[in-house]
Structure 1
Amino acid sequence: MIKHTVRLIVASALLCNVAFAQSVDDGKKFYYYEKYVSAKDALEKAVAAKPDDVEAVYWLGQTLIEMRDTAGAKAVFQKALQAKGSDPLLLVGIGQVELMEKKTNEARQRFETAISLTKGKDIGILNAVGHANAATAEGDAKYAIEKLTLATQVKRFKEADVYINLGDAQRRLMDGGAAVTAYQNAFGLDPKLAEAKYKVGKIYVTQGPDQANIFLKNFEEAVTIDPAYAPAYYDMYSYWYSRDVNKARDYFAKYKANTDFTPSVEAEEISLVYASGDFKGAIAKADEKLQKDGDKADVKLYRTKAYAYDKLGDSVNALQNMETFLAKASPDIILPDNYVKMAEISAKFPDKVAQADEYFNKVISMDTVVANKVNYAKAASDMYKKLNDRGKSAEWLTKILTYKPDYGKTELFYAGFENFYGEKYVTADSIATLYKTKYPDDVQGYYLAFRSKWSADTAALSSGIPSVEPVEDAKKLIELAETDKQKYKQSLLVAYGFMAGYYANNLKDYPAAVTYLDKILEVDPGNADAQANKEVLQKAINKPQQKSTAPAAKKTAGAK
């Protein structure tokens, strides 16, 4: 009887150990799939069953960090350290929390102690140190790379997760090529690791929508490898959200089926109502959820309401909800487009127009991709143009020349002429100089320079007597444009008119002036102003003794 009892006790203990192991493994699995609510539940049970299990404590702390509960993670690690002393993995965990608290020196000491205790040969500890530094804004990416590289050199190394963290650290250093290589190495070690394909895709996302074919391909490969990998579904949903709401809805349904149903997921579901064009319905559903959940409601509901009110033309409520969203949301929830939208809404209020620039500057400073910076600047320019503020519109197009050092004709053309129409003639002429220097055989640079110099001379404009400054640019413009008179007809009419006035009124050289009037009539035979001015000057030519008192030539059609 005693033997049977002992056997039952042993069997029971074994079953408990198996159940415990399953609980920890389940928690880690949920963590991998970013199902943090489920991970927390499984790991809390594991820690409750076996409080001294370091692995369970570590992963519970990691889960709480991902749930933005830094205080909870700190409490978990501190409690375990009190019971276990200087366990290396717990030291790394509390060190990560200290990084988040900006206690970088203390954190580094924890990491070094953990590595020293394991003689620098424990892959798990080196990987945890690398993760802490790669995943935390205050972490040292170079230090992470150093320790993760060391882990790959340990005998019998085969942990794909080390390469995932190494790729994350390389991303922190903006080394996309090295990051892709690291993720590919992870996939080489574990061909079932959907995360590796997903993270390669994320690299290309940062390079802008032009890389959509590449990052979407990697996301699709990730869910083909592992149909339960929810993060890839979410990114595909996000991509199609503003492009094809039906595709977005399909990907969201797959995401929802493979993740925890949280207030955040419910908020995304409501935002799809907005994306479908039902703006009033989106507001109603968001309000219902906000009223039901109160302070626990997801802050993204305010964003949805703001966008919906903006579509309905209610700028007051749009501004109020957008301000609430930006005040309550954590930085990782705020999208670049949110700052653009806030700028556009703010610009509708005279006392908040200045804030619009602040929001555009903020989103541009956040982004490292040149193409994105250019697009934000264009959005700012378009916004000010709609407000009939061509000067501010010009400022933003001019900034593009700074954001994009390899600017071309298109950027120079739009920046230059927007400054011209915004009556910023000096800046326009400066841009024209850049244009002429880079493209000396292009008509547009000389046309911009000629028009800018002419318009900048207010005295000449008021007197009707052109100044000498635009002459050289006008001559060069004519030389280049006369190779295709039909293509550049309007530019030639303006330049011919200016030169006719210059020769008639400044130099009193009426025959030369008539030559330019004849050029006008050649490309525009019905130009009555040119014909009338030619007749006036011809009479003056035929009466040389009255040359000094001849009337000034009138402006011809096409002249400013």
Structure 2
Amino acid sequence: MMKHTIRFMVAAVLLCNVAFAQSVEEGRKFFYYEKYNSAKETLEKALAAKPDDVEAAYWLGQTLIELNDIAGAKKVYQTALQTKGSEPLLLVGMGHVELLEHKGNDARQRFETAISLTKGKDVDILNAVGHANADAPDGDAKYAIEKLKQATEVRRFKEPFVYINMGDAYRKLLDGGAAVTAYQNALTLNDKLAEAEYKIGKIYVTQGQEQANIFLKHYEQAIALDPAYAPAYYDLYTYWYSRDVNKARDYFAKYKANTDFTPSVEAEEISLVYASGDFKGAIAKADEKLQKDGEKASPKLYRVKAYAYDKLGDSVNALQNMELFFSKGDSTLFLPDNYVKMAQISAKFPDKLDQADSYFNKAIAMDTLLKNKVDYAKAASDMYKKIQNRVKSADWLTKILSIDTGYGKTELFYAGWENFYGEKYQTADSVFNLYKQKYPDDMQGYYGGFRTKWMADTSGAASGILSEAPIEDANKFIEIAGLDSLKNKSALILAYGYLAGYNANTLKDYEKAIFYLDKMISLDPTNVDAKNNRDILQKALDRPQPRADSTKKSGAAAKPSRK
């Protein structure tokens, strides 16, 4: 009887261990599929059943990090370290937290200690160090790659997630080619690893919408490898959200079926009502959910309401709900487009106009795609131009030149002329100088420079701009534009007119002035003013000049003859 009892107890312990191992593995599986609430619940149960389990503690901490509960993750690791001492995996977890707390030196010390304790031969430890540094904003991507490569050299290496983390580290360094290679290596070790295929797609997203066919293909391939991989469904849903609401709805349904149904997911479902064009319906459903869930409701609901109110032309409620969204939400919810929308709504209120710039700047700082950054700056310029603030419009078009140093003629042209119309002549002149330097054979830089200096001189705002420079720019413009005088007729007439006036009034060189007036008349024979001015100057030239010796009687200074 006693032996039977002992055998039963041993069997019970073995079964318990199997169940526990399964629960930790289940938690890790939930983590992989980004079902973080399920992972948290499962791992908390596992840790409660076995408080000294290192793996359960590590993965619970990682899950809390993904849920943006850094304090909770820190508490888990601190408690586990008190129980287990300097356990390498827990040291790495705490180092991850310290990176998120901007304590880089402390984190590095934890990582090195963990690696040292395992003699640099534990793939899991090296992988965890790589993940922490690839994931945390303050992490060292180069250090991550170094340790992950070290992991691949460990005997009998076969861990695909080392390459996943390596790819993430290369992405952090903006080395897309190396990242793709790393993800492909992960697929070599596990050809069903949807995450690797999905993340290859994410590389092409950073290259702009021109690569849509490629990254959408990789997302679809990820789903083909693993139909339960929710992140790919979500990205497909967000891509089609503003393009084809029916496709977006289909992908969202599949996403919903494969993820935790949280208040955040429910808010996304309500946002599809907005995307379908039912703005009043979206507001009603969001209000119903906010009333039902109270403080537990997703802040995304305020964003849905704000966008809907904006579509309905209710700027007051749009602003109020965007302010609630930003105050109640956290950075994980904010998208560049949200900042742009907030800037545009704010600009409708005179007392809120000053904050519009800060929101546009946040959108630019947040987005990693250069084209998008430029588009946000253009949107800012367009917004200010629409409300007749040409100075601010010019500032944003000028900023594009620093955002994208590979600017071309179009960017220089619009920045130069917007500064011109905003009466920022010094900046306009600088921009047109850049145009001339980069495109010396193009007439636009010289024409802009000539007009800017002329207007600055006329308005008395020519401080720092050489007064003789309009002549140089005007002449160079005429030289190039004259190759097609019919196409450039109006601009040439303006330049000839300026030079005629400058020579007649400033230099008193009537012959040169008549030369330019003749040029004007040849392009526009009906120009009465040009003809009248030419006649006046010709009469002045034809008028007999006083004799030099006659001036001695009156004591007047002799005038030089033009004959």
Report the alpha carbon displacement of residue 448 of structure 1 after superposing the two structures with TM.
Answer: 0.4
1:300 matched residue in structure 2: 300
1:407 counterpart letter in structure 2: Y
Given the superposition, is the C-alpha separation of residues 99 and 449 from structure 1 closer, same or farther in structure 2, using an over 3 Å criterion? closer
2:228 counterpart SS class = coil
Given the superposition, is the C-alpha separation of residues 450 and 107 from structure 1 closer, same or farther in structure 2, using an over 3 Å criterion? closer
2:171 matched residue in structure 1: 171
| Residue-pair matches, total | 541
2:224 counterpart SS class = helix
2:130 matched residue in structure 1: 130
1:119 counterpart SS class = coil
2:256 counterpart letter in structure 1: K
2:558 matched residue in structure 1: none
1:71 counterpart letter in structure 2: A
Report the alpha carbon displacement of residue 322 of structure 1 after superposing the two structures with TM.
Answer: 1.6
RMSD of aligned alpha carbons: 2.6
Of residues 345-354 and 442-451 in structure 1, the stretch that sits farther from structure 2 once superposed is: 345-354
Aligned-partner Cα distance in 1 for 2:93–2:538: 93
TM-score by length of structure 1 reads: 0.89
* Structure 1 unaligned residues grouped into runs of 5+: 462-466, 547-560
Given the superposition, is the C-alpha separation of residues 460 and 12 from structure 1 closer, same or farther in structure 2, using an over 3 Å criterion? closer
Aligned-partner Cα distance in 2 for 1:453–1:23: 76
Q: Deviations over 1:109-165 (max 9, x none)?
A: 333332222222111111112222222233333332222221111001110101111
2:331 matched residue in structure 1: 331
Given the superposition, is the C-alpha separation of residues 434 and 113 from structure 1 closer, same or farther in structure 2, using an over 3 Å criterion? closer
1:313 counterpart SS class = coil
1:472 matched residue in structure 2: 472
Given the superposition, is the C-alpha separation of residues 456 and 26 from structure 1 closer, same or farther in structure 2, using an over 3 Å criterion? same
Aligned-partner Cα distance in 1 for 2:69–2:432: 55
Aligned-partner Cα distance in 2 for 1:509–1:94: 82
1:552 matched residue in structure 2: none
Report the alpha carbon displacement of residue 542 of structure 1 after superposing the two structures with TM.
Answer: 6.0
1:470 counterpart SS class = helix
1:327 counterpart SS class = helix
Give the 5 Å matches for 1:432-447: 432-447=432-447
Give the 5 Å matches for 1:289-438: 289-438=289-438
Of residues 527-536 and 349-358 in structure 1, the stretch that sits farther from structure 2 once superposed is: 527-536
1:268 matched residue in structure 2: 268
Q: Deviations over 1:277-335 (max 9, x none)?
A: 22222222212111111111111112222222222222222222222222222222211
1:432 counterpart SS class = helix
Give the 5 Å matches for 1:10-21: 12-21=12-21
Report the alpha carbon displacement of residue 263 of structure 1 after superposing the two structures with TM.
Answer: 0.6
Of residues 223-232 and 324-333 in structure 1, the stretch that sits farther from structure 2 once superposed is: 324-333
TM-score by length of structure 2 reads: 0.89
2:235 matched residue in structure 1: 235
2:487 counterpart SS class = coil
2:67 matched residue in structure 1: 67
Report the alpha carbon displacement of residue 7 of structure 1 after superposing the two structures with TM.
Answer: 5.9
Given the superposition, is the C-alpha separation of residues 57 and 460 from structure 1 closer, same or farther in structure 2, using an over 3 Å criterion? closer
Report the alpha carbon displacement of residue 397 of structure 1 after superposing the two structures with TM.
Answer: 1.0
1:25 matched residue in structure 2: 25
2:99 matched residue in structure 1: 99
1:471 counterpart letter in structure 2: I
2:137 counterpart SS class = coil
Aligned-partner Cα distance in 1 for 2:219–2:271: 22
1:551 matched residue in structure 2: none
Aligned-partner Cα distance in 2 for 1:539–1:527: 19
2:398 counterpart letter in structure 1: T
Q: Deviations over 1:453-482 (max 9, x none)?
A: 111112689xxxxx7542222122112112
1:330 counterpart SS class = coil
Aligned-partner Cα distance in 1 for 2:74–2:391: 52
Of residues 298-307 and 130-139 in structure 1, the stretch that sits farther from structure 2 once superposed is: 130-139
Report the alpha carbon displacement of residue 184 of structure 1 after superposing the two structures with TM.
Answer: 1.9
Report the alpha carbon displacement of residue 544 of structure 1 after superposing the two structures with TM.
Answer: 5.8
2:162 counterpart letter in structure 1: V
Report the alpha carbon displacement of residue 192 of structure 1 after superposing the two structures with TM.
Answer: 0.9
Aligned-partner Cα distance in 1 for 2:326–2:207: 25
Given the superposition, is the C-alpha separation of residues 459 and 218 from structure 1 closer, same or farther in structure 2, using an over 3 Å criterion? closer
Of residues 193-202 and 76-85 in structure 1, the stretch that sits farther from structure 2 once superposed is: 76-85
2:520 counterpart letter in structure 1: I
Aligned-partner Cα distance in 1 for 2:112–2:430: 56
1:68 counterpart SS class = coil
Of residues 13-22 and 216-225 in structure 1, the stretch that sits farther from structure 2 once superposed is: 13-22
Aligned-partner Cα distance in 1 for 2:535–2:178: 74
Q: Deviations over 1:418-473 (max 9, x none)?
A: 11111112221222222112211111111101111111112689xxxxx7542222
Aligned-partner Cα distance in 2 for 1:515–1:350: 53
Report the alpha carbon displacement of residue 99 of structure 1 after superposing the two structures with TM.
Answer: 3.1
Of residues 309-318 and 6-15 in structure 1, the stretch that sits farther from structure 2 once superposed is: 6-15
1:481 matched residue in structure 2: 481
Report the alpha carbon displacement of residue 410 of structure 1 after superposing the two structures with TM.
Answer: 0.9
Report the alpha carbon displacement of residue 519 of structure 1 after superposing the two structures with TM.
Answer: 3.4
Aligned-partner Cα distance in 2 for 1:125–1:459: 70
Given the superposition, is the C-alpha separation of residues 319 and 511 from structure 1 closer, same or farther in structure 2, using an over 3 Å criterion? same
2:227 counterpart SS class = coil
1:457 counterpart SS class = helix
Report the alpha carbon displacement of residue 252 of structure 1 after superposing the two structures with TM.
Answer: 1.7
1:388 counterpart letter in structure 2: Q
1:427 counterpart letter in structure 2: T
2:143 matched residue in structure 1: 143
2:449 matched residue in structure 1: 449
Aligned-partner Cα distance in 2 for 1:91–1:469: 67
Q: Deviations over 1:512-555 (max 9, x none)?
A: 44443443344344444444545555665665679xxxxxxxxx
Aligned-partner Cα distance in 2 for 1:193–1:64: 24
Aligned: 1:153 with 2:147: no
Aligned-partner Cα distance in 1 for 2:14–2:459: 98
2:284 matched residue in structure 1: 284
1:498 matched residue in structure 2: 498
Aligned: 1:38 with 2:38: yes
Q: Deviations over 1:228-278 (max 9, x none)?
A: 111112122222222333332222222112111111111111122222222
Of residues 492-501 and 265-274 in structure 1, the stretch that sits farther from structure 2 once superposed is: 492-501
2:464 matched residue in structure 1: none
Of residues 107-116 and 257-266 in structure 1, the stretch that sits farther from structure 2 once superposed is: 107-116
Give the 5 Å matches for 1:144-223: 144-223=144-223
Q: Deviations over 1:480-528 (max 9, x none)?
A: 1121123212211211222333344344555544443443344344444
2:191 counterpart letter in structure 1: P
Given the superposition, is the C-alpha separation of residues 469 and 112 from structure 1 closer, same or farther in structure 2, using an over 3 Å criterion? closer
Given the superposition, is the C-alpha separation of residues 5 and 372 from structure 1 closer, same or farther in structure 2, using an over 3 Å criterion? same
Aligned-partner Cα distance in 1 for 2:303–2:153: 47
